[in-house]
Amino acid sequence: MNACAKRNASYSFKKLIRSIIKAGVRPNQLRDAAFRQRILSIPRGKVATYGQVAAAAGYPLYHRAVARFSRTTPLESMPWQRVIGSGGYIKLRFEAAAEQRLRLELEGVKFRGRRVDLSAHQHMFGAWDPD
């Protein structure tokens, strides 16, 4: 095969890959599915930080993406109140913060001032499982 034929074959292969990717699932949909799976695995009475959820889903530097995902997902579809900021702080504001605290208290989560008692209520994720 000459150089021209190789270049054309390579171009055709790249074009095929691009069309498959374009028609398939977008990368942030895969990421959001991983976030959803990890948030749903947090049991009642336990909490996890945005960073913990991101790392457990396989995206260790995407804590802000977890916050965006939580903000844009319908409230009834997952236990959003179990995801908190680093250090145990509730990062929401105003009525949303009061609702999150109330929901956590109804699940038996104890607070130390404005912070969740992470020593008693922090959820530890198991090893990352891509499936």
pLDDT for the residue numbered 131: 47
Domains of the chain, by residue range, sit at: 27-121
Please determine, for residue 39, whether its predicted confidence score (pLDDT) is greater than 80. Answer: yes
Instruction: Give pLDDT tens digits for 5-18.
Output: 555 555 666 666 66
Check if the beta carbon of residue 50 is closer than 8 Å to that of residue 83. Answer: yes
> In percent, how much of the chain has pLDDT > 70?
76
Q: What is 27-121's CATH number?
A: 1.10.10.10
Torsion sign across C-alpha atoms 77, 96, 53, 71: positive
Q: How many CB atoms lie within 10 A of CB 56?
A: 25
Minimal CA–CA distance to 84: which of 121, 42, 47?
47
Instruction: Give pLDDT tens digits for 94-103.
Output: 999 999 999 9
Instruction: Give pLDDT tens digits for 48-92.
Output: 999 999 999 999 999 999 999 999 999 888 999 999 999 999 999
User: In angstroms, how far is CA 69 from the centroid of its own chain?
Assistant: 7
Specify the residue for token string 């680093």. Answer: 86
Query: pTM score, two decimals?
Result: 0.77
The H-or-E segment that residue 48 falls in is: strand 48-49
